Structure 1
Amino acid sequence: MITILIFINLLNESTYQDMAFIFNIGIYAFSLGGSVILLLYHITLYWQYKDNLLRSFCFYLFSLSVLLIFRFYILDTKGFESTSMNISAIKISEFLEMIMYFGYIKYVTDAIDFDKSKYSKLTTSINIVLTIILIYAAFSLFLGPNSFIELNSLGIIVRVLIFSLAIILFFQSFNITDNAILIYIQIGAGFYFMLSLISFLMTFVMFNIGLIRPIHVLLVGTLIDLIIFSLAMAKRNKLQIINAEKSLSLRELELQNYKFKQELAIKEQKEKDRKSIAMDLHDDLGSSISSIRFAIESAKNSTESEYFNALDKIEKVSSRSMDKISEMIWTLKSEDTYIETLEDRIRNYLYEISGICAVDFSIHCDSKLKLLNLNLNARKNIWLIIKEGITNICKHSKAKSARISIENQDTLKIILEDDGIGFPEQIRKDRNGLENLKVRTEELSGIMTMDNSKTGGALLIFEFDIPKIRD
């Protein structure tokens, strides 16, 4: 569209009647329109993907567009002939062209994407040539007004270096095997190098083909390279989207597999916990039934006093069995309400033993505990730890008061503290008197700490990592 509008404007202007001039400016207009459109398109892509190769290509397109705009301006105002341009315009044009070559080498290097550590000499050569380009570009701006010959000579040398490096990079690209767009780069670069060489030779021998000048050949090569590389970038973006979708699908499958394994592990753990509880219940009931059976057998041929003793024993054993069954049922049923009912369970137990335990207990449960769902094994062992801790305080502490605290901080913490006689030194060292508590704590991968409190009584702290006991 830009090119068409420019041509319409040219044809309508009476000052642009010379066909050679119209052909000349037409090539520039077409090249400028193409480079600007491609620049805007790839800036949009870079804004979306933030890709380093797109960034290099956008810089090259920008520097090319600025060069073409400047030359188009000179052509429009002065009627472009290199010999008719003043030295200032030539220096600016040379500077912009070198920046364009700098951008070209950068984007070709990024596009080939070779192993820079493996080809360290090539990497060093690229950096040297890029540095020379920048130095020459800056130097060209500060040459004196009578330095056209020096500028032309240095420009030829720098261009030979650039062309030689581009040829090396071109052949280096054939050593790369895992680049999906490399064939596009090779084709585009092949056209560009071939037409650049023709343009260079035409410039060197000062030869034109009719209306076609060396710069026209170079611009055609540039446009072909840009179009082919744009097709390569389109394919690259498409492949990236496909690979991203595949990667996402793979991650989703991995996540589903992970969730399945987690669910399976939870089911296996629950089944293991249920079997453990069933075995405990079986052992307890089996032992109780055996005791009751033995008491009944003893009572058959016993005296009256022995008979009543046997009945008393049967009653106590039956009562203990019922308590154990009640505990097991509560543990199994209270999956969602365990923490909420735990405090009530502790208070009920303290009420049941109040006739034989003179210790005054206080209970504190963190309000955040209501948000915590524990697995079956944790529910069973935490209750038994608290229950056995209460029993030990009642039997051995000689305390007047005790505190039970359950906190939900970074860990689940259970604190049992009394104002009794504390732990004897020997028990604190070997913990033999608290072996059951230790075993139950370790079964939940927890830590048991025992010490004497500030008041001289016993202090027991049980800490559990919440993810390990959560349902």
Structure 2
Amino acid sequence: MSTNSHPRFVSANTNRYHPFHKAFKHTFFYILLFCFVNNSYSQWADSMVVEASDIRFQKAIGKQTLFTSAPKNEVKDADIYKLPYKQTPGHYLPHQLPSKLVERDCFLEFALKNSADTAISVCFIPGSYCRLITLFKAQIDNIPGTLIRLPDSLINDDRNNGVKRIHLLPHEKAVFFSRFNFVRTNVNSLIPRLIMDDYLKQWTTLQRERDGMLYVFTYTVSGVLLFMIFYSLAVYIQSRNKEFVFYAGYTFLTCSLLFLKSYFDTTANWFNFFYEEYLDFMIMTASVVVYQIFMRKFTNSKEVYPLLDKILRYFNILLICASIVFSVVYFFTDWYIMLNIMENAIKQLFFVTGVVFIAYSIKKKNPLLNYLAAGNFSLIFLSVISYIIILTGWKLVQKDPTSIFNRALFYYEFGLVLELGFFLSGLAFKNRRDIIERVKERERLKLENERKEFDKQMAVMAAKQEERNRISADMHDELGSGVTAIRLMSEIMKSRLKGDVVPELEKISNSANELLGKMNTIIWTMKSSNDTLESLIAYIRAHAIEYFDSTPIECRVQLPALIPQAEVSGEKRRNIFLSIKEALNNAMKHSQASQIQIIISTNDKLLMIKICDNGVGIDADKLRRFGNGLSNMRRRMESIDGSFKIESKIEAEKNCVLTFEAPI
């Protein structure tokens, strides 16, 4: 670049005048230039020169510094003093630096003097997130002839992004020029500052302590998110629900974003520059993409909310494409304004996605969606507050500018905490709902299995009953007719003998009668149509009256006033009837009674039959005679969960009472 660009130089335009005239004008120009330059640099000594010996700790020199910029790599080191430097407003705070300066080479000019009798070392910092810093030194009264580049004495401090050490001899006065570039981010600042070399470490510590509460809060939130990572992975291992893998990914990305932001804050190394320029935004975008995938899996939107699933899927595709374009611009160009525009556009896309999800959730009125929507609303609302603080520098606590409540990052992190709280509430609701649904499903499967088992048993019972009916029909049709024929023929033979008694023929007739009675009993027990309590009672009554009909014993049967509608299986009817039949047979043979009373009573759960006679009763010696019959009755009743009891008393009309009880 030529000297024409410096405001302290006046150039002569090329013209067509006489060569003598032209030479005169050039001579006059250089005389004026010499006077102007000397007069200009005399101003440094009067008002703009910084007295280094007066600095006790640190001093911001923005108002005593001149600033300019130029396209990158167009200004040679030898021409750095020729640039059009001008007074700056003092400094540019973070988020206030003009975007166009990030794409250009920046230059500072300032003058220092040391009035002390000893040498002084000070550290120069142009601002935050500055890189490729070089320093040039020249004598004030002869800048072009004394301009030199200072050695690269860069101090790689842990918490500063570039510090240059300046050494001043006793009573030395000099002008300094600095060339540097800004990192492509919106958090860089231009705050030229001089710090005494001995106090650099203390100054960086104080800078760090200004945000001490914010760092504590950030690390706390990062710890909570780390816990959620382990929790989500544990839930996935137990339940194999893939949505928790995506939530673990989301929390990991968010935790990394916050932790790296706090840990590397203003650190001077390539990774922090790369993080501020590119990586933090990519992590944020990836976290949003993964979170939207999680929401789709968590709410089962593909099946339950197809419209919401389609919207979130399209937003994800759009975010991925925008991130690819952003990466191409970052890695293959030096543009910052375009990156800043794209970053703001993608963040607005985040906002639109959240608003659409919240509106859809409110419309659906689903509790699970409402929990997630409340979390999204909290994060969006507090992120908007954070963005307003960044743009306007708004301070909620005016009395304490360093308060945590004045920091934009605090509100974003607080929004993440609220979102996490609402997510846990939604997770608890979903788990409770899933547990209820699983219990209902188990009950449904249990009832279904019980129904199938019941149907199976009913089918088996129906098959058995059908077989019983078939056997009873065959017995009635085949055996019954045969036995009846034997009895008839025996009776015919007795009538033909005309009074001659043949014992064998009498036995044949009696055996046929007994066999026919037993077969009728078996047929009665096997027929399913008789499986009722009413049929059992009627059959017992009919058998008792018929049994004592041709005997001197008077038999009376007392029936209940109301017989309940109860089903009694064939096996149970058979055991009850045979027990009653055995009791009546014993009474006929051994009781010597003239009266027998059968009392039948029922309720909803029990059938009770009492057989009372006025005979000789039963004593211990007589029990031995028909003990086998009594044991058979007891065994039969116990086989159907019933009971059998004997009472022998000397009363007016009841000397023996047999009690049979059976559940129905």
TM-score (structure 1 length as normaliser) = 0.53
Partner secondary structure for residue 355 of structure 2:
helix
Match of 1:196 among 357, 361, 383: 383
Partner secondary structure for residue 132 of structure 1:
helix
Residue 218 (str. 1) matches residue 412 (str. 2):
yes
TM superposition shift of 1:240? 2.0
Residue 249 (str. 1) matches residue 443 (str. 2):
yes
Residue 229 (str. 1) matches residue 427 (str. 2):
no
Tell me the distance in 2 between the aligned counterparts of 1:48 and 1:107: 18
* Change in CA separation of 1:62 and 1:172 when aligned onto 2, cut-off 3 Å: same
Q: Please state which structure has a larger fraction of its residues in helix.
A: 1
Q: Map 1:55-94; keep pairs closer than 5 Å.
A: 55-75=245-265, 77-78=267-268, 86-87=273-274, 89-94=276-281
Q: Map 1:141-156; keep pairs closer than 5 Å.
A: 141-142=327-328, 143=330, 144=332, 146-156=334-344
Residue 126 (str. 1) matches residue 312 (str. 2):
yes
Query: In the alignment, what sits opposite 1:135?
Result: 321
Query: In the alignment, what sits opposite 1:280?
Result: 474
TM superposition shift of 1:112? 4.9
Q: Please state which structure has a larger fraction of its residues in strand.
A: 2
Partner secondary structure for residue 75 of structure 1:
coil
* Change in CA separation of 1:215 and 1:137 when aligned onto 2, cut-off 3 Å: farther
Tell me the distance in 2 between the aligned counterparts of 1:265 and 1:288: 33
Query: In the alignment, what sits opposite 1:41?
Result: 231
Q: Map 1:292-311; keep pairs closer than 5 Å.
A: 292=486
* Residue identity opposite 1:199 in structure 2: S
Tell me the distance in 2 between the aligned counterparts of 1:255 and 1:119: 34
Tell me the distance in 2 between the aligned counterparts of 1:251 and 1:102: 39
* Residue identity opposite 2:252 in structure 1: F
The 10-residue stretch of structure 1 (14-23 or 124-133) with the greater mean CA deviation from structure 2? 14-23
TM superposition shift of 1:217? 1.4
Asked whether the equivalents of residues 246 and 293 of structure 2 are also in contact (C-alpha less than 8 Å), the reply is yes
Tell me the distance in 1 between the aligned counterparts of 2:215 and 2:491: 122
TM superposition shift of 1:140? 3.4
Tell me the distance in 2 between the aligned counterparts of 1:31 and 1:200: 20
TM superposition shift of 1:296? 6.7
* Residue identity opposite 1:24 in structure 2: L
Greater relative contact order structure (CA < 8 Å, 6+ sep): 1
Residue 17 (str. 1) matches residue 206 (str. 2):
yes
TM superposition shift of 1:281? 1.5
Query: In the alignment, what sits opposite 1:176?
Result: 364
Partner secondary structure for residue 206 of structure 2:
coil
Tell me the distance in 1 between the aligned counterparts of 2:309 and 2:444: 36
* Residue identity opposite 1:185 in structure 2: L
Query: In the alignment, what sits opposite 2:642?
Result: none
Partner secondary structure for residue 181 of structure 1:
helix
* Change in CA separation of 1:16 and 1:235 when aligned onto 2, cut-off 3 Å: farther
Cα-to-partner distance string for 1:230-272 (whole Å, 9 max, x where unaligned): 2321332233224323432343344334334433442343233
* Change in CA separation of 1:59 and 1:184 when aligned onto 2, cut-off 3 Å: same
* Residue identity opposite 1:150 in structure 2: M
Partner secondary structure for residue 211 of structure 2:
helix
Query: In the alignment, what sits opposite 1:166?
Result: 354
Tell me the distance in 2 between the aligned counterparts of 1:112 and 1:163: 20
Partner secondary structure for residue 357 of structure 2:
helix
Asked whether the equivalents of residues 42 and 54 of structure 1 are also in contact (C-alpha less than 8 Å), the reply is yes
Tell me the distance in 2 between the aligned counterparts of 1:106 and 1:208: 36
Tell me the distance in 1 between the aligned counterparts of 2:442 and 2:383: 44
* Residue identity opposite 1:192 in structure 2: L
* Residue identity opposite 2:206 in structure 1: Q
Asked whether the equivalents of residues 63 and 99 of structure 1 are also in contact (C-alpha less than 8 Å), the reply is yes
Cα-to-partner distance string for 1:290-338 (whole Å, 9 max, x where unaligned): 6556877998999xxxxxxxxxxx9xxx9xx9xxx9xx9xxx9xxxxxx
> Could you tell me the percent identity over the aligned residues?
19
Cα-to-partner distance string for 1:371-411 (whole Å, 9 max, x where unaligned): xxxxxxxxxxxxxxxxxxxxxxxxxxxxxxxxxxxxxxxxx
* Change in CA separation of 1:288 and 1:131 when aligned onto 2, cut-off 3 Å: same
- Number of equivalenced pairs: 296
TM superposition shift of 1:189? 2.0
* Change in CA separation of 1:88 and 1:52 when aligned onto 2, cut-off 3 Å: closer
Structure 2: unaligned runs, 5 residues or longer: 1-158, 160-200, 497-507, 527-664
* Change in CA separation of 1:119 and 1:205 when aligned onto 2, cut-off 3 Å: farther
TM superposition shift of 1:111? 4.5
TM superposition shift of 1:169? 0.8
* Residue identity opposite 1:286 in structure 2: G
* Residue identity opposite 2:430 in structure 1: R
* Residue identity opposite 1:100 in structure 2: S
Tell me the distance in 2 between the aligned counterparts of 1:67 and 1:43: 20
Residue 107 (str. 1) matches residue 294 (str. 2):
yes
* Change in CA separation of 1:110 and 1:286 when aligned onto 2, cut-off 3 Å: closer
* Change in CA separation of 1:222 and 1:301 when aligned onto 2, cut-off 3 Å: closer
* Change in CA separation of 1:289 and 1:141 when aligned onto 2, cut-off 3 Å: same
CA RMSD of aligned residues (A): 3.9
Tell me the distance in 1 between the aligned counterparts of 2:464 and 2:393: 89
Tell me the distance in 2 between the aligned counterparts of 1:276 and 1:88: 90
